[in-house]
Amino acid sequence: MVTVLRNSTVYTMNKSNEVLQNADIWVSEGKIVKVSKCFDLPSDSQVIDCSGQFITPGLIDAHTHVGLWAEVTERQNDANEYSSPWTPLMNAKDGIDPRHFSFEQAVMGGVTTVQTGAGSANPIGGVWSILKTAGASFDDRIIIERSGLKGALGENPKNVFGNQYKTMPMTRMAVAHLIRKGFLEVLHLKDCERERLAENHSELVPFAEVLERKMPLRLHCHRADDIATAIRIAKEFDVKLSLEHCTEGVLMLDAIKASGATVTLGPYMTPASKYENRLSTAKSPKHFHDLDIPFAIMTDHPFIPIQYLYYCVVEAVKYGLDEMAGLKSITLAAAEIMGIADKVGSIEEGKDADFAIWSHKPFETKANVLSTYIEGKEVFRHAGMIR
């Protein structure tokens, strides 16, 4: 059976940024099968009248700790393994609680896909995962189990291990050393030794995967000198790099563009909890957009609750970011940065039927998420919504 979301304004967020008026979205078996202007419908179709409403792709948060971070009265934080500064074998999938209330918050805000994993206490913290925010089973929700090796530069690892535990790293030099360590060890292996890494469950496996470009190196970095170090390390080993936070990136835009790195910006609208993020501003995305540097905007949930991802973009638009570029930063651009644009990020035939249905045009003050769909199934409905 075909389900048809009928007669809405559709923000496709495809390469052409098409906005279709009075359009239909046809869904079958969890996929988009047609996006068109009100064709005649099959006799057995299920019709959902969306007249006067606005549909965007399901929103994507490229940097979160959803399902891992302790919140409210929860005591155990599963996002950071504090036993060692170097924990490359930590796998986000093993720590995510798929029933955690943060996933409910996500769908309330129209967020259908997240990247989540280790925090930034460790110079090398573990491997991240990408998953849907709702679904039949946890395994079915996983899109990419190993989406990047997470590392951190700057104050976090120094404060946790140097200041609190009085062990390495105490300096930025030691942080960089610990990030390089795994790559150097892999490069010193013979080919036959590299081939046996996986079967031996070696701590070097994630580094080998990054060197083979199977996944990127995702480095937490706020200060300009830490951003420069991240770029330098990626260049040394010829690996794909994602600059996470990139707070002072506006001070070195040309270097970031030349590096080919992708960027995940945010969170904004939070207190300057440490000296190195005191310059955090929602003005940054406009500068990256103007230079055509690929970027996504993120919440870093729980530091900004994930249901407010859309409002992080609203704030950037207030400071001059083009509206469509802002919406793209949490849809198609985020999907491209995460390597999942063949599945999600835009409303196009063949992609997953993930949508957010809005009461008003995006970026209007009154815009509310009325419904959220993942793979053609409604996973959230606003309390005042009647179907």
Q: Report the CATH architecture of 3-56+349-381.
A: Roll (2.30)
**CA of residue 252 relative to chain centroid, distance:** 23
Q: Which of 366, 319, 353 is nearest to 29 (CA)?
A: 353
* Tally of helices (H runs) and strands (E runs) in the chain: 12, 16
Q: Cα-flanking dihedrals φ and ψ of residue 190, to 5°?
A: -75, 160
Q: 223 with 272: CB under 8 angstroms?
A: no
Q: 222 with 277: CB under 8 angstroms?
A: yes
Q: Token digits for 71?
A: 């919140």
Q: For 187-235, write each residue's pLDDT tens digit.
A: 999 999 999 999 999 999 999 999 999 999 999 999 999 999 999 999 9
Pairing relationship of beta strands 19-28 and 295-297 according to DSSP bridges: unpaired
- In this prediction, what percent of the chain has a pLDDT beyond 70? 97
Q: For 287-296, write each residue's pLDDT tens digit.
A: 999 999 999 9
Domain ranges (residues) in the chain: 3-56+349-381, 59-338
Question: Which CATH fold topology does 59-338 show?
Answer: TIM Barrel (3.20.20)
Q: Token digits for 384?
A: 């005042």
Q: Which of 63, 61, 117 is nearest to 89 (CA)?
A: 117
Local confidence band at 272 (pLDDT 50, 70, 90 cut-offs): confident
Cα 7 to Cα 50: distance, rounded to the nearest angstrom: 6
